[in-house]
Structure 1
Amino acid sequence: MKVVKFGGKSLANGEGINTVLEIIEEKIKNEERIAVVVSARGKTTDQLENLLEKASENEDFASAFEKFKAYQISEYDFVDFSEEFKNIEKLLEGVRLLGDYSAKIKDQLLSQGELMSAKLITEILKQRGYKANFTDTRKLIKTDDIFGNAQPLDALSKENVLEHFQEFNGKTVNIVTGFIGSNAKNETTTLGRNGSNYTASLIANYLDAEELQNYTHVDGIYTANPDLVPSAQRIDQLSYNEANELANFGATILHAKTIIPLIEKNIPLRILNTFNNDNQGTLITAKPNKEGMKSLSVLEHTALLNLEGRGLLGKSGVDARVFRALGDAQISVSIISQGSSERGIGLVVDAENAVRAVKALEREFESDFYSKDVNKISVVDDVSVISIVGQDLSTFHKPYDALIRNQIVPLLFNNTVTGKNVSLVVKKSQLNKALNVIHGEIFEICKKINIAIFGHGTVGGTLINQILDSAATIEERKKVKLNIFAVSNSRKLLLHATGIGSEWKTQLEEAQQEASIDEVIKYAKLFHLENLIAVDNTASEAFVQNYNKLVDHGFDLVSSNKIANTLGFDFYKELRENLEKNQKQYLYETNVGAGLPLIDTIRILHLSGENITRIRGVFSGTLSYLFNTFSAEDRTFSSVLKEAIDKGFTEPDPREDLNGNDVGRKLLILARELDLQNEFNDVKIKNLVPEDLRGGDAKTFVSRLEELDATYQKVKEEQKPNHVLRYIGDLSGDLQQDKGELEVALVSVPDDSSLGQVKGADSIFEIYTESYGDRPIVIQGAGAGAAVTARGVFGDILKLSEKK
């Protein structure tokens, strides 16, 4: 015989109950011998508890009760529920008059859900021509007197079950009520949370069943609750011990006591999905998972109790007093953690028991309060326990570090004696995010990186398209899912928790949400988004002022905007201190040299202790093109500049390139990478625009370009033979001091030198160090362009992704 159990969601009106009936009928047609154990249907138990609360508070429950009855009857008006409805109403009226209820009354009321569920299935099967028998487990499962969490009396219960199934056997299908039993006085009791699974397990044990099949609303046991962790994966097979660990640590599909009766008789348990016939589910047997098992379980509706007292340090028997007090109050403790330097004990209990637990401890330690050995007993409500079942402490640092990087600091940490299960207590508001962070880290299925992009101009728009084009390949190759959840310009904001698509530009134009950093932060919190990166592709000084706020709310930073690194040194230092405090990173490789690996190279050399003595180079792709062409060709300066303008190499106002400020900012950024404390006004800059052309608008300036020709023709002609002009930035001086010498100028260099040989719009950088002597490290390549810069920003995003 097989025992088949159906959960409440499977039995809900509509698709649920119809599918359950199809499964039962199919098994009967295939001549399988089955006993069916059922839970209360849908949200029946919750509705009964709600009615009970209304009655106890003397609220009018008539309307809610009518809705309850309508759901139970639904389209099955041929089933007589009058007795159950009468019992419910009688109990509720009694509670309303008394204004309170006992655990005994609650058990009587809740039992009606399972009774109606079993009666309904039985009557439908009979109407369809099958032999079905309604089986009330209050007559079979005998228990102790602990209402709400009764323990079965095995010998008597087994005898009752065997007698019943001997009478109703053969082709008769017993439809059995789960969750309920009765004590020696025949008073109704219930078996506790998820007790219907326990009932099914007991029945399977007593009947020596071939298999217990537990039908629920998911495909089996997962590496985490798929409702909370979309990337969770089904576990094909578990051993009894592994399943028992999961049950004890809060797996909602299993009752902690379900496995024990099955182990005794070596009865396989298969978790199946009522709504997916093609799925094999999860099989639980004595055979362990070959690859070992890891899964995340959650205990919700818990509270954290903290007992603190400096005077308890070194006193014996404190733990015994704590557990005796809680035990006398019939309060179970799921997790305990102790401090040492200042005596403290942290305890996790069910939230509904928190107040009683505090009172019990206050009574026990009353004298210790007077002697000031105990300072306080406090409660932290709204916490959840995450247990990583199968987690070895040797690799626990990975998920723990990931939590800290995502600004989730566990309130309590506990490891089991075996060293294979780790439990963390977190704020309930952080549960979803914490689960996804841990799951992505320990299973390495696919780490999700959530990106907010600010500024979608030439570089920003190119970057978005690069990410969208490469996302699938990166996910497959690197197991990293890049999810752009926010795109913003200065006016509008597009938000999409699961990621924007190729139509993002149109959607942004049609968006109603105004641009707001606060809205982005709020949205990320609302959807529990982990591994956050903010990308600044603006050229806005005002936006830079948001950096610290973003860091405070869990964002790492990537920027092509140079401004943050060239503002006053006080801001520069404050931002770095805030990044360190929040364990966040700020990458900006494209600030100098677009996509060239310049900043990383300098940073690594500096961190390794290498003495960098000088850095100089052609920092501007625009000015590189201008002077490379002017030096190589017999043309006027104005014609070359006009060509650069026409090709879009310059800013709309070319004086922004020619004034040297951009090169000066880049040079300052490199100086600060060497821990120099220079300010922008320390940079000596040769402005290539004559003073009389610096005023007025861009159009007027462009119309007067020929006025530059005589000046630059003279400079060109006065060079030594075989020399060319280059506009360079030069960082020199004693770079071991607080400040270096920064100069931006037009210089003449030999045409066979590294600077002299640069072509087109390339940038080139020479890094002189003590170890390399007169032979500099040379980095050369495309130093400008939207695609190159966007690719450099993309590279920074991927660097951060690997570290998360």
Structure 2
Amino acid sequence: MKILKFGGKSLANKEGLEKVIQIIAQKYFSNEAVVVVVSARSNATNELIDLLDKAQKGVNYNVELEAFKIYQNNGLSNTIFTDEFSQLDKLLEGVSLLGDFSSRIKDQVIAIGELISAKYLSYLLNEKSIKANFVDARNLIKTDNNFGNAQPLDAISKKNVITFFNNQPEGVNIVTGFIASTVNGETTTLGRNGSNYTASLLANYLDAQEFQNYTHVDGIFTANPELVTNARKIEKLSFNEANELANFGANILHAKTIIPLVEKNIPLRILNTFNPDNQGTLITAEQTDEGIKSLSILNNVSLINLEGRGLLGKTGVDARIFRVMGDNNISVSIISQGSSERGIGIVVETEKATKALIELEKEFENDFYTKDVNRISANDNISVISIIGQDLSTFHKPYTALIKNKIVPILFNNTTTGRNISLVINKTDLKRALNVIHGEIFGVSKKINIAVFGHGLVGGTLINQILNSASAIEKRKKIELNVFAIANSKKIVFNNNGIGDNWKSEIETNGISYEVQDVIKYAIENNLENLIAIDNTASKDFVENYIALIENGFDLVSSNKVANTLSYDFYKTLRSAIDKNQKNYLYETNVGAGLPLIDTIKLLHLSGENITKIKGVFSGSLSYLFNAFSKEKKDFSSVLKEAVDKGYTEPDPREDLCGNDVARKVLILARELDLQNEFEEIKIDNLIPEHLQTISQNEFFERINEFNSVYQNIKENQEPNHVLRYIGELSGDLQKEKGVLEVKLVSVSENSALGQLKGSDSLFEIYTESYGERPIVIQGAGAGASVTARGVFGDILRLAEKN
């Protein structure tokens, strides 16, 4: 014989009921002996409790009661629930008159959900020519009179069950789960999710071959798949592991369900009503491999905090707390305390939190007067995540990941075995915390959620690079890159499941106006973890949002140089915010596009290497301009027009020629060496003749030939075999607070490293004390959207591997 149990969601609607009937029919017509246990349909138990509450408060409940009856009747022409509906009417009317109800009355009301469910399924099966018998478990399972959480009386219950099934009528017996009765026949219930317990007891009493628990999921997963999309099914568990999962809140299991099965070594299989061919999760006595099995959660719990400086060194405080809890039948699921006992936290069911608070205040009344206890408080806005199988030796990994995502556990504790750890967190952080922990410990793809600001040449190229590479990166690195927001200066488009290849048209047709605070709000509301904000703008205004993004859990990657070249005070404030919030800010492309320059300088400086000078060609645009002008017999204006036409410069080339861009890059490197220079202190050689600096762009191009005589004269007055280069240089005593920063046009030997540059390449010479006059040279493509975007992409991947 097999025991089949169907949950409320399996019985909720036409699709589910048809599946349940198919499963039972297949076993029935195969002559397989089965007993079926059912829960109340859908949300019936909660609806009945709501009706009770309304009746108690004197609130009119007729609309809700009628809706309940219509749903449960489910289109039947003649109701088969006359007795149940009549009893419900009388009970609610009585509660309404009295303005109160006892646990005894509550059990009678909520038992109606299971009675209706079993009757309805029996009726449907008989309509399908499958002989079915409605069985009221109150006639079989006897309990004590602890209404709401009654304990079975094994001897009499077992005798009743065996006697009934030895004389059972032909057909499939459909048994009410969850409900039982006292020896005097008063209705009791076995506690929430107690239908599993009913099925487990029947399996034990009848020596069943297997207990098959049909739910709405394919088995037990590494986490709740409704909260963690990439949760994986667990194929096998031992009874011990299942018991841990049940104790720590796994929804599919009831903590008491396991014990009757263990006694008789009866396998438990968790199956999916809607996918019956799936083999589900098998739970047996056989021990499985060690390791983390699953994340389970406890909701509807509260944290009671007892605080008092006067408790320092006092013993017995915890004993008093547990005595109060025991005397009031309040179960403590978690306790955490310091060795000094100056602070103790306990987790209890929310419905009993007020009672716990009142009774503890009574117990410690004298301690309040003596100031030994300062405060006893309750926090209902919590959830508990338990990591089943987590060893303390590796707990730092998920814990660090939580901190990086701005999720700070209120408290945590571990079991005496050291193999399970529970975290108490704010309820609003639950989904995000689960995904962060799951991604860290189960080796599935870690999801990185990216918001891209600015989709011009660099930004647009970056977005396409991410989308084109995402699949390969997930396979190779187990990192899922999810672009959830793309914005320009006016519009933004969101998709928490990821924006696709048609992002340009999405922004045009569906883009909405926004502020950066809207992006932060969207990330919070959608529980997005591992957040990265990408700044591909050149906007000073956008930089003002950096600190808000950091404070709300975003790491930053930027090709925008502005943030690193504003005042030194802002520079330090930004770093302080980064350190305080344990976030990262990467900006390798600020200098040298995709070249590994900033990282090299950081590493040298961190290692204690004394950098004495840095100089080089910082601008790919100006590199092209002077490489071509120095080698070719062309006017300066002709070469400048070529650079503009090829996109090497900005549309108004004066933005490059003024030298400010190079100056910013030099300043960025100076600040990497902890120098406190300001932008205004940089000596800049402006390449634009003064009379051409302030005219309009159109007039500038009309008078561009006026460059020719100036630069032809400079070119002809060089020493032989020399070429012109526009360089940035950082020199002086770099051990002091400030260095000497210069941007200038120089003439160098064509055989030197600078003189041999070609095309739009950049080149940097880093002079150090150890290397003397032989600098470290870094050279390569220093301009171009593709190169810069690839450098930003590199920073994203470095952050992704860190998170």
TM-score range, shorter chain: over 0.9
Larger mean Cα displacement after TM superposition, 647-656 or 72-81: 72-81
Counterpart-to-counterpart distance in 1, 2:547 and 2:429: 22
Q: Are the equivalent residues in 2 in contact too, given 1:455–1:489 (CA < 8 A)?
A: yes
**Secondary structure, aligned partner of 2:730:** strand
User: What is the aligned-residue identity percentage?
Assistant: 67
Q: Deviations over 1:408-434 (max 9, x none)?
A: 001111111010100000111110111
Counterpart-to-counterpart distance in 1, 2:695 and 2:130: 95
1:162-311 matched pairs, under 5 angstroms: 162-168=162-168, 171-290=170-289, 292-311=291-310
**Secondary structure, aligned partner of 2:532:** strand
**Secondary structure, aligned partner of 1:304:** strand
Q: Deviations over 1:564-594 (max 9, x none)?
A: 0000000000000000000011100110011
Answering whether residue 65 of structure 2 is matched by residue 54 of structure 1, we say no
Q: Deviations over 1:355-397 (max 9, x none)?
A: 0000110111111111111111011112000000011111111
1:156-555 matched pairs, under 5 angstroms: 156-168=156-168, 171-290=170-289, 292-340=291-339, 343-555=342-554
TM-score, normalized by length of structure 1?
A: 0.99
Q: Are the equivalent residues in 2 in contact too, given 1:313–1:340 (CA < 8 A)?
A: no
Q: Deviations over 1:648-691 (max 9, x none)?
A: 21111111111111100000000000000000011111111111
**Secondary structure, aligned partner of 1:9:** coil
Counterpart-to-counterpart distance in 2, 1:546 and 1:13: 49
Q: Which runs of 5+ in 2 are unaligned?
A: none
- The offset of 1:77, in angstroms, is 3.6
Answering whether residue 32 of structure 2 is matched by residue 6 of structure 1, we say no
- AA of the residue aligned to 1:134: F
Q: Are the equivalent residues in 1 in contact too, given 2:313–2:341 (CA < 8 A)?
A: no
Answering whether residue 61 of structure 2 is matched by residue 44 of structure 1, we say no
- AA of the residue aligned to 1:225: N
Counterpart-to-counterpart distance in 2, 1:459 and 1:291: 48
Counterpart-to-counterpart distance in 2, 1:418 and 1:529: 33
Counterpart-to-counterpart distance in 2, 1:214 and 1:647: 69
Larger mean Cα displacement after TM superposition, 247-256 or 710-719: 710-719
Counterpart-to-counterpart distance in 1, 2:400 and 2:738: 36
Answering whether residue 81 of structure 2 is matched by residue 66 of structure 1, we say no
Q: Deviations over 1:13-55 (max 9, x none)?
A: 2111111111101110111100000111111111111111111
Q: Are the equivalent residues in 2 in contact too, given 1:729–1:743 (CA < 8 A)?
A: yes
Q: Are the equivalent residues in 2 in contact too, given 1:79–1:123 (CA < 8 A)?
A: no
Counterpart-to-counterpart distance in 2, 1:376 and 1:638: 78
Counterpart-to-counterpart distance in 1, 2:11 and 2:645: 72
Q: Deviations over 1:589-612 (max 9, x none)?
A: 110011111001111111111111
Moved over 4 A (4+): none
Q: Deviations over 1:434-463 (max 9, x none)?
A: 111110101120111111111111111111
Q: Deviations over 1:732-775 (max 9, x none)?
A: 11111101111111111111111111111000000111111111
**Secondary structure, aligned partner of 2:512:** coil
Going from structure 1 to structure 2, the CA distance change for 1:576 and 1:610 (only over 3 Å counts) comes to same
Larger mean Cα displacement after TM superposition, 499-508 or 78-87: 78-87
Q: How many residues align?
A: 803
Counterpart-to-counterpart distance in 2, 1:788 and 1:652: 19
- Match for residue 125 of structure 1? 125
- AA of the residue aligned to 1:45: T
Q: Deviations over 1:440-494 (max 9, x none)?
A: 1011201111111111111111111111111111111111111111111111111
Counterpart-to-counterpart distance in 2, 1:716 and 1:435: 65
Q: Are the equivalent residues in 2 in contact too, given 1:246–1:297 (CA < 8 A)?
A: yes
- Match for residue 115 of structure 1? 115
- AA of the residue aligned to 1:90: K
**Secondary structure, aligned partner of 1:753:** coil
Q: Are the equivalent residues in 1 in contact too, given 2:483–2:499 (CA < 8 A)?
A: yes
Q: Are the equivalent residues in 2 in contact too, given 1:683–1:742 (CA < 8 A)?
A: yes
- AA of the residue aligned to 1:142: K
Counterpart-to-counterpart distance in 2, 1:342 and 1:762: 65
**Secondary structure, aligned partner of 1:445:** coil
- The offset of 1:310, in angstroms, is 1.6
Counterpart-to-counterpart distance in 2, 1:507 and 1:637: 43
Q: Are the equivalent residues in 2 in contact too, given 1:238–1:293 (CA < 8 A)?
A: no
Q: Are the equivalent residues in 1 in contact too, given 2:450–2:534 (CA < 8 A)?
A: yes
- AA of the residue aligned to 2:660: N
**Secondary structure, aligned partner of 2:142:** coil
TM-score, normalized by length of structure 2?
A: 0.99
Counterpart-to-counterpart distance in 1, 2:566 and 2:118: 73
**Secondary structure, aligned partner of 1:40:** coil
Counterpart-to-counterpart distance in 2, 1:245 and 1:789: 51
CA RMSD of aligned residues (A): 1.1
**Secondary structure, aligned partner of 2:275:** coil
**Secondary structure, aligned partner of 1:755:** coil
- The offset of 1:723, in angstroms, is 1.3
- The offset of 1:78, in angstroms, is 4.8
- The offset of 1:76, in angstroms, is 3.2
- AA of the residue aligned to 1:118: A
Counterpart-to-counterpart distance in 1, 2:297 and 2:494: 30
Q: Which runs of 5+ in 1 are unaligned?
A: none
- Match for residue 760 of structure 1? 759
Q: Deviations over 1:123-180 (max 9, x none)?
A: 22223333322211111111111110111111111111000000106x5221111001
Q: Are the equivalent residues in 2 in contact too, given 1:654–1:698 (CA < 8 A)?
A: no
- AA of the residue aligned to 2:728: G
Counterpart-to-counterpart distance in 1, 2:77 and 2:205: 35
Answering whether residue 691 of structure 2 is matched by residue 692 of structure 1, we say yes
**Secondary structure, aligned partner of 1:764:** strand
Going from structure 1 to structure 2, the CA distance change for 1:390 and 1:98 (only over 3 Å counts) comes to same
Counterpart-to-counterpart distance in 1, 2:339 and 2:747: 70
- AA of the residue aligned to 1:605: L
Counterpart-to-counterpart distance in 2, 1:409 and 1:291: 28
- Match for residue 739 of structure 1? 738
**Secondary structure, aligned partner of 2:143:** coil
Counterpart-to-counterpart distance in 1, 2:734 and 2:535: 30
Counterpart-to-counterpart distance in 2, 1:269 and 1:662: 69
Counterpart-to-counterpart distance in 2, 1:647 and 1:337: 66
Q: Are the equivalent residues in 2 in contact too, given 1:81–1:116 (CA < 8 A)?
A: yes
- AA of the residue aligned to 1:632: K
Q: Are the equivalent residues in 2 in contact too, given 1:242–1:293 (CA < 8 A)?
A: no
Q: Are the equivalent residues in 1 in contact too, given 2:313–2:340 (CA < 8 A)?
A: no
- AA of the residue aligned to 2:601: I
Counterpart-to-counterpart distance in 2, 1:403 and 1:225: 18
Going from structure 1 to structure 2, the CA distance change for 1:755 and 1:512 (only over 3 Å counts) comes to closer
Going from structure 1 to structure 2, the CA distance change for 1:76 and 1:21 (only over 3 Å counts) comes to farther
Counterpart-to-counterpart distance in 2, 1:207 and 1:77: 37
- The offset of 1:79, in angstroms, is 5.2
**Secondary structure, aligned partner of 1:182:** strand
Larger mean Cα displacement after TM superposition, 418-427 or 694-703: 694-703
